[in-house]
Amino acid sequence: MQAFQKRHRAPLITLGVIGLYAGFLQWFLGWGDILSRWQAVGPGTGMMALALLVATYFIRTHRIQDYFRHETKGRFVALFRVTQIHNLLNIMMPLRTGETSFPLLMRSEFGVPLARGAASLLVLRLLDLHALLASGGIGLVATARQPAIAGALWALFLVLPLLLFFLRARLVALATRRLPARLTGLINDIDAGIPADLGGFGRAWFLTVFNWGVKIAVLAWVLALMGVAPLAASVGGALGGEISSILPVHAPAGVGTYPAGIAAGAAALGASRAPGALETLTAASVNTHLLVVVSALVGTAISLILPLLSRRHAVH
């Protein structure tokens, strides 16, 4: 029994967290209310949103395969499984502790050294944060008094990583000289994780922006369908939820923290604070978070099924 628990610790913990989350939703809103809201949106619309979120996992896998093209060449299915396990652990485990699984999985599956896997993950996460902020900037541009100026500043921020790439050597040297010695290691790790050529870095930047643009658009669309208005508030809610998921205060499965992030982001960009509107926002936040969790579970299930289908196809 102990051997079984040790061998299946991660799946058992995941199932336990899912069970607790289901109980929390029943206590907080009730599954009847949750399902009725999805029924009002429409099963077809809900399935389309779910499919689009799952599609972003394939984009994310392609980004990582391009980043580690020599190690992962011809092994997309195996890499998809690695990225989905890493994603599910990130969602389910508290305080971003699931991040540590990425370099370990990349080493065990593809022989990527731990230091390189960790350094590359750090750079990818910085690109993720930039793309999230850029996505949120769309809402700020839409509500700006001078949209032309705001749009120009947003476009400059969008391509900022590409501009900084050309100044990479100078920035690293400057940071090494000016920053405290304890931060030198972090600077060196970031530098080591950046692709050596502009083409590789540019592809990573583009795929990151595209991936997060699709995800934020889908989540904002779902929030709008569930009554969150205006559109800027829906974008802010989507951004707030995703930012909460990359912060160190992330709760197991995002319970509480993700919906709170949605509510805070929506309120910051103009959501009404009237009692009825707040009730709508709360329900929409929980339902959108549920969609994110379900998409992660579906993505993980697909990643486990694909190798079986590949082997069956190889036999025939």
CA distance 235 to 266: 7
Q: Angle at CA 120, nearest 5°, toward 118 and 123? A: 110
Strands (E), the chain: none
90 closest CA partner among 257, 269, 287, 305: 257
For 259-294, write each residue's pLDDT tens digit.
Answer: 999 999 999 888 988 888 898 998 899 999 999 989
Q: What percent of the chain has pLDDT over 70?
A: 92
CA distance 225 to 220: 9
Q: Which two tokens stand for residue 142?
A: 């839409």
CA dist 161 to 116, 127, 170, 203, 223, Å?
A: 20, 8, 14, 12, 30
Q: Which pLDDT does position 5 carry in this prediction?
A: 60
243 closest CA partner among 96, 120, 118: 96
Q: What is the mean pLDDT of the chain?
A: 87
For 244-258, write each residue's pLDDT tens digit.
Answer: 888 777 777 777 789
Q: What mean pLDDT comes out for the span 71-97?
A: 88
Residue 179 half-sphere exposure toward CB, CA atoms < 13 A: 14
Q: Which pLDDT does position 313 carry in this prediction?
A: 63
CA dist 135 to 95, 207, 213, 231, Å?
A: 24, 14, 6, 13
Contact yes or no for 92/253 (Cβ under 8 A): yes
Amino acid at 296: A
Q: How confident is the model at residue 302 (pLDDT cuts 50, 70, 90)?
A: very high
For 40-55, write each residue's pLDDT tens digit.
Answer: 888 899 999 999 999 9
CA distance 266 to 197: 39
Residue 23 half-sphere exposure toward CB, CA atoms < 13 A: 6
Q: Which pLDDT does position 8 carry in this prediction?
A: 58
pLDDT at 238 over 60: yes
Specify burial of residue 247 (Cβ count, 10 A radius: 0-12, 13-18, 19+). Answer: exposed
CA distance 22 to 225: 23
Contact yes or no for 111/72 (Cβ under 8 A): no
Q: Which pLDDT does position 83 carry in this prediction?
A: 94
For 179-228, write each residue's pLDDT tens digit.
Answer: 888 788 878 888 888 888 999 999 999 999 999 999 999 999 999 999 99
